[in-house]
Homo-oligomer: A and B are copies of this chain.
Amino acid sequence: MMPFYFQDYKKMSIAYRPSHADATYDMKYGVRAVQGGGRSSARETIGRVASGAIAKKILKQFSGTEVLAYVSQVQQVLLPDGSVDHDTVTLDQIESNIVRCPNPEYAEKMIAAIDAVRIRGDSVGGVVTCIVRNAPRGLGSPVFDKLEAELAKAVMSVPASKGFELGSGFSGAFLTGSEHNDEFYTDEHGRIRTRTNRSGGIQGGISNGEIINMRVAFKPTPAISRKQHTVTREKKEIELLVHGRHDPCVAPRAVPVVEAMVALVLVDQLMAQYAQCNLFPINAELQEPLSLGFPNFEPAMI
Q: Which residues of A contact B (CB under 8 A)?
A: 16, 18-31, 39-40, 44, 58, 61-62, 73, 75-76, 117, 122-127, 137-138, 140, 142-146, 148-154, 156-157, 161-170, 172-186, 190, 192, 194-195, 198-200, 202-209, 215, 217-224, 226, 228-231, 233, 235-237, 270-288, 301
Contacts and interface: CB of A to CB of B under 8 A. Distances in A.
Nearest to A202: B24
Contacts of A230: 183-184
Given A27-B192, A180-B220, 9 more contacts: A26-B286, A29-B287, A40-B142, A62-B280, A156-B164, A168-B219, A183-B229, A186-B237, A198-B219
Number of copies: 4
A6 to B, nearest CB: 22
B143 A39 contact: yes
Given A143-B157, A230-B183, A230-B184, A208 B176 contact: no
A20 B282 contact: no
Given A156-B152, A170-B217, A228 B162 contact: no
Given A172-B217, A270-B279, A208 B29 contact: no
A170 to B, nearest CB: 4
A219 B180 CA distance: 8
Contacts of A58: 279-280
A235 B192 contact: yes
A247 to B, nearest CB: 11
Nearest to A180: B220
25 contacts: A18-B182, A19-B180, A20-B203, A24-B140, A24-B208, A28-B287, A30-B282, A62-B279, A75-B175, A75-B176, A124-B176, A127-B170, A144-B157, A152-B164, A153-B153, A162-B200, A173-B218, A178-B224, A178-B226, A180-B222, A185-B229, A186-B235, A192-B231, A274-B275, A274-B278
B24 A283 contact: no
A206 B21 contact: yes
A199 B23 CA distance: 13
A149 B138 contact: no
Contacts of A25: 142, 204, 206
B271 A275 contact: yes
Nearest to A195: B229
A27 B206 contact: yes
Contact of A173 (B16, B127, B222): B127
